[in-house]
Amino acid sequence: MRINPDEISKILLEKIENFEDIPNLKEVGRVIQIGDGIARVYGLENVMFNELVKFQNQQMGLVMSLEPDDAGIVILGEYKNIKEGDLVERTGKVIEIPVGDELIGRVVDPLGTPLDEGPKIKSSKTRPIERKAVGIIERQPVNVPLQTGIKAIDAMIPIGRGQRELIIGDRQTGKTAIAIDTIINQKDQNVLCVYVAIGQKNSEVARTIERLKKSGSMNYTTVVVAGASDPASLQYIAPYAGASIAEEWMFAGKDTLVIYDDLSKHAISYRQLALLLRRPPGREAYPGDIFYTHSRLLERSAKLNDELGGGSMTALPIVETQANDVSAYIPTNVISITDGQIYLESALFHAGFRPAINVGLSVSRVGGAAQTKAIKKVSGNLRIMLAQYRELETFAQFSTELDPATQSQIKRGQHLMELLKQEQYSTMTFEEETVSIYAGVKGYLDDLPISEVKRFEKALLEKIKKNENRILDRINKSKDLDADVEEQLKIFLESLKKEFGGK
């Protein structure tokens, strides 16, 4: 077969005309300074704030400072193998973390890498760790309770699904204990939990995880860990990663609970990064945007409207104070962002009142809107009774003779304080709380010795479950304490009182 040269020329000309040479261009820079987890890089002309970059040794970094001549990059991990002159490449991406049901029951670092010796997380979905909070129109009022299983909180400082409630107090006052008890109490409540450990000792985190496993709570919990030995960069991004994991479930219409333990250490890690990046220090050497750092995190908690699925994300941030100073910079910042605070006091803790909640200084700005009718009915006067007791107790120290009414109020207050004591890991259902608080508020404990209060409560709960379980069932189903159930409860309490030799 004879080939026509004109045809060959025509084909070649067409190929040349249609040829597109798209070079694979990468924007790279060079490290001009490295130290303390911060790299200064020259040559990344178009790099963006919060963009991920890749170093020559495959280590990742986060752009946190844009100067006229160079970019300040925070290294996410080990930085000792990076040296001056190394190439740095733009990725055009922001930090993302794997999300979805694959993370339930797992322990991960803030980049989504497993820390629990389990298989690699094969999630088809990722989310950027930073996301703008949903607006006002996309939200609905908080009105569904999130039961903590702790009588003092559920009765007087109620938490609703979608709320942000701060847990604040000195070190070793039981802040983490309240958070862990709240996670344990979400069993069979259809709430997925995320526990973010920031700057904690590895032994403490291991103990917490072991406790969650023992109680079966890891079946609905994800733990995000940036320990004390991890770089400040990982501690800084940890709470945002935890929020993104919970957000995925929230937008799928589920209820979630996130615990940030704790934001004091998070603020310290951010201060460290800011000072190394040569940002001007402000009050207590924190950078000027420390308020925004926490507000953009906590504002992501919400109760979504029905059009977006009605999911919720409840946040329990923890803040540690020094010598009960709630007027320090970080505590006042976080108090102003959240919807209330649970204030724990060292004096109460050492006096044996645990959980060591100072009811006078603790508040929930959602209040009764997030309480069941039953709890609201029985605990309506509880806070007032305790406030009067505290006032009279102080007054009684200066007076020897008190009138019978004052003595009665003091006695009632002492019994209620004893009743509100609760051991760690012994959470209660809301109907058990209702019955227990009812007994205290209505005076069934008043003529018992203080030492007998806990024994009476234990007997009350054991016998009502065994003999009168229908009372608990009706409270559980109706979420209310109607006249008929209250009458049955009175009869039961009076018969139990006789067993204890009461009047």
Q: Which residues are the active-site residues?
A: 365
Token pair for residue 326? 């709630």
Cα–Cα dist 87/451, whole Å = 71
Residue type, 69: D
Letter string b/e over residues 197-229, b meaning 16 or more CB atoms within 10 A of that residue's CB: bbbbeeeebeebbebbeebebbebbbbbbbbee
Cα–Cα dist 47/45, whole Å = 6
Q: Which residue has the tokens 């309240």?
A: 178
Give the number of other CB atoms < 10 A from CB of residue 312.
27
Contacts with 82 (C-beta within 8 Å, 6 or more apart), sequence order: 31, 34, 39, 55, 56, 57, 59, 75
Token pair for residue 36? 């303390």
Short-list 200, 226, 220, CA closest to 109: 226
Three-state SS string over 342-367 comes to EEECHHHHHCCCCCCECCCCCEECCH
Cα–Cα dist 266/196, whole Å = 11
Spatial contact of 436 and 151, defined as CB atoms under 8 Å apart? yes
Contacts with 32 (C-beta within 8 Å, 6 or more apart), sequence order: 40, 41, 42, 70, 84
CA end-to-end distance (rounded Å), the chain: 120
Q: Which residue has the tokens 């080990």?
A: 78
Short-list 438, 446, 381, 378, CA closest to 408: 446
Give the number of other CB atoms < 10 A from CB of residue 408.
13
What is the biggest distance separating any 2 CA atoms in the chain, rounded to whole angstroms? Answer: 128
Tell me how far CA of residue 177 lies from CA of 9, 183, 363, 420, 494, in angstroms: 82, 10, 19, 16, 35
Spatial contact of 202 and 43, defined as CB atoms under 8 Å apart? no
Q: Classify burial at 164, counting beta carbons within 10 Å of its beta carbon; exposed 0-12, middle 13-18, buried 19 or more.
A: buried
Spatial contact of 409 and 132, defined as CB atoms under 8 Å apart? no
Residue 29 host element (H or E):
strand 28-35
Residue 430 host element (H or E):
helix 430-441
